[in-house]
A = this chain, B = another copy of it.
Amino acid sequence: MKIAIFLFDKFTALDVVGPYEVLSRLPDSQIYLVGLDKRDYMDTYGLKIVADYSINDISETDILLIPGGFGIDNLLTNQKVIEWIQKINNSTKWTVSVCSGSLLLAQAGLLDGKNCTTHWRRKEQLKNYPVTIQNERYVQDGKIITSAGVSAGIDMALYLTSKIIGDKGAKMIQLGIEYDPRPPFEYASPD
């Protein structure tokens, strides 16, 4: 199972590492951190993750993951990135996003006519595309799964894992990362 995770400047670190921590535990998974260039990418607050591959190195994958972050807006007009996403999507079994990463999928036309979601702060922006936005933690439409903001990528990745190796395997990974979340506060809706 080949898994490509796209990195860019000002990505959100947990958008990458939440799903990564789940998907990297899939049997026989190989993870590819991929950037426009092969170099370090810095998130919004200063953490740097290494992209060992450039988009020129990776033309097919089983799973493509697009994280979100403030840097996503700069990519929406980057034709090289858009074309890479369109091309690699032809090879995927699953194309998934976290948070504002869905905007990049939308810009590439991959969400046209589809159900999807994004971070609550990005819903207005996503409405500019021909999509149906749902207020869910993650939304599957065919082979595409989009997630709500940041931490939702963990829930999405566990769901995706269950689709690939079944519920039992996904539950074992949930146990491995001791994912029995107990937020100290009740979640207050943005409304």
Binding site for B on A (CB under 8 A): 12-14, 16-18, 20-21, 24-25, 29, 31, 33, 40, 44-50, 52, 99, 119-120, 137, 148-152, 154-155, 158-159, 162, 167, 170-171, 174-185, 187-188, 190
**Complex contacts, A180 vs chain B, CB 8 Å:** 137, 151-152, 183, 187
A24: nearest chain-B partner, CB-CB:
B45
Q: How far is the CA of A16 from the CA of B20 in the complex (A)?
A: 13
**Complex contacts, A183 vs chain B, CB 8 Å:** 154-155, 158, 174, 179-181
Do B185 and A158 touch across chains, with their CB atoms under 8 A apart?
Answer: yes
Do B155 and A182 touch across chains, with their CB atoms under 8 A apart?
Answer: yes
A174: nearest chain-B partner, CB-CB:
B185
**Complex contacts, A120 vs chain B, CB 8 Å:** 178
CB distance from A123 to the nearest CB of B (A): 11
Do B162 and A174 touch across chains, with their CB atoms under 8 A apart?
Answer: no
